[in-house]
Amino acid sequence: MTDMKEIAAIDEMVAKARVAQNSYEAKGSQALFDSACQAVAWVLMEPTRNKMLAEMAVAETGLGRVEDKIRKNHNKTLGLMRDLKDVTSFGHLGDDAVTGLSSYLRPKGVIAAIVPSTNPLATPVNNIINALKAGNAIILAPSPKGVKPLTTMLTDIHQALGRFGLPDNLVQMVPAPPSRAKTERLMKLADLVVVTGSQNNVRAGYESGTPAIGVGAGNVVTIIDETADIAAAAQKIAASKTFDNATSCSSENSVIAVDAVYDEVVAALAGAGGLLLNTSQVERLEKLHWHDGKMTTTLLAQDIDKVLGEMGMLEDAPPATQFLVAPQSEIGPEHPMTGEKMARFLALHRASDFDDALAKAVAIQDFQGAGHSLGLHSTNDARAHRLAMEAKTCRVIVNQAHCFATGGFFNNGLPFSLTMGCGSWGGNSIDDNLNWRHFVNRVDVVRVVPERRPELDEIFGDYWDRFGK
């Protein structure tokens, strides 16, 4: 039975957030909102604190690598601040004399942000900054394993925001221990729900009755064709697959190599630290990582030594081994290796040609991960366009390390984010990277202008010429 005291605590928290948000907006200005974002960003990016928080996150969650979390915390936050610099996110946008419209931006109100254990620092900070940029209050609901690092970070965030006279209630966290009842109550009372994490939480967000932004499952497939720089592709895949022990939903999960370069791809992956498994080893890997069709935590986001040890291969594997490569010939729910893994191994498929590779990529993401993203290593840009038009994907990442590129990076045009919308294919309300625009309401002042009524033949003339009236 739900503890009514827990519900009452959430009700009180939301009420306090509304008071804080109303005050923040009332005295708000773009300068104040930007300063608040800078304060929050530097809390995580300050090198000593970043290292301490990263160490705490890995110790508490048991997921990922400290040095990679430090890089992620720094780069994702810096990139977001670059994207937000000089952006008008509040107040009067401008006037249009032709349409008679004057446009304004206002906050959504109180944001409920559900954040995963895989990114217990970078994701909530990204959400906090986007919320504050637009004048919102925000309440975070962490995974049980993410409570301690987030609690520690919030103490410093409150201190930093206090320099501007901003109350602690502007940025809050669901009181520990987290629970489904608390989270569901928060989602029901908030003005906007943002969910990053499990599909169960995403569905709960959509079912809460509150406007919600949730993201689909990741299951990145990358194609390597005969025109690719094979060595460069292998190095990028290795860097992406091993970063933070594959905690990212954007890490490559399957590689499809066309037949003409398949052997070369295998050799290049080996040169980049990939260990090719035989059939029996693949079977053992599947049994370790999935029980009754569900992913276990045995190998989830673990160091390669742990993975090799569980496989009984620690003594025999080459010293340079960084990840495992599991050849696959089948696709679908009975072959879980073709799904999302979030571990230091990937599936390898062979395709007769690019057409076959495209068909296999579509089949894999029809099974899992539709809408998220596809990778392509090729010098034939027309093939990127084919993926965009023929696959059910919202991003085609060309000649890049996927986990760095999908959420935006300094060398591509995507907004920095840790939450990637997957469109209707992934059952999502957005198809772009979550960003500040999703945290604002637009208001238009509408005036009378000279009437612009077209004649019928302006609209239907070409149709009538072809088919008559």
Tens of pLDDT, residues 411-452: 999 999 999 999 999 999 999 999 999 999 999 999 999 999
260 and 329 housed in the same domain: yes
The pLDDT of residue 277 is above 70 = yes
Reply yes or no on whether 249 is catalytic.
Answer: yes
pLDDT at 174: 96
- Confidence bin at 2 (pLDDT 50/70/90): low
The pLDDT of residue 1 is above 60 = no
- Percent share of the chain, pLDDT over 70: 100
* In-domain check, residue 415: no
Return the SS3 of 110.
strand
> β-pairing, 252-258 with 220-224?
parallel
Average pLDDT taken over every residue of the chain: 96
* In-domain check, residue 469: no
The pLDDT of residue 107 is above 90 = yes
What's the whole-number mean pLDDT along residues 49-77? Answer: 97
123 and 159 housed in the same domain: yes
Whether 226 contacts 261, CB under 8 Å: yes
Q: Which of 253-257, 333-337, 438-442 has the lowest mean pLDDT?
A: 333-337
257 and 323 housed in the same domain: yes
Going by C-alpha positions, the residue among 446, 445, 443 that lies closest to residue 106 is 443
Helix (H) or strand (E) holding 384: helix 381-390
Encoding tokens for residue 395?
A: 């991003």
Catalytic residue among 249, 394, 403, 422: 249
Q: In angstroms, rounded to a whole number, what is the distance separating the alpha carbons of residues 11 and 17?
A: 10
Q: How far is CA 301 from CA 52, 208, 229, 307, 437, in A?
A: 20, 30, 29, 9, 32
**Which carries the bigger pLDDT value, residue 363 or residue 118?**
363
Q: Which residues contact 327 (CB under 8 A, 6 or more apart)?
A: 276, 277, 282, 347, 348, 349, 350
pLDDT at 196: 86
Domain boundary among 385, 404, 423: 404
CATH number at residue 53: 3.40.605.10
235 and 294 housed in the same domain: yes
- Percent share of the chain, pLDDT over 90: 91
The count of structural domains within the chain is: 2
Range of the domain at 278: 220-404
* In-domain check, residue 410: no
The pLDDT of residue 375 is above 70 = yes
Q: In angstroms, rounded to a whole number, what is the distance separating the alpha carbons of residues 371 and 424?
A: 7
* In-domain check, residue 409: no
263 and 292 housed in the same domain: yes
What's the whole-number mean pLDDT along residues 181-186? Answer: 94
Q: In angstroms, rounded to a whole number, what is the distance separating the alpha carbons of residues 84 and 91?
A: 16
92 and 195 housed in the same domain: yes
* In-domain check, residue 99: yes
pLDDT at 116: 87
Strand residue runs (E) in 247-354: 252-258, 274-276, 290-291, 294-295, 323-328, 345-351
- Confidence bin at 145 (pLDDT 50/70/90): confident
pLDDT at 351: 98
187 and 245 housed in the same domain: no
What's the whole-number mean pLDDT along residues 207-220? Answer: 91
211 and 267 housed in the same domain: no
* In-domain check, residue 418: no
The pLDDT of residue 378 is above 60 = yes
39 and 151 housed in the same domain: yes
* In-domain check, residue 63: yes
pLDDT at 54: 97
Q: What is the pLDDT of residues 452-464, one digit of tens each?
A: 999 999 999 999 9
229 and 335 housed in the same domain: yes
pLDDT at 203: 86
CATH number at residue 305: 3.40.309.10
Going by C-alpha positions, the residue among 147, 148, 124 that lies closest to residue 41 is 124
* In-domain check, residue 451: no
pLDDT at 337: 95
338 and 251 housed in the same domain: yes
Whether 122 contacts 77, CB under 8 Å: yes
What's the whole-number mean pLDDT along residues 150-172? Answer: 97
312 and 206 housed in the same domain: no
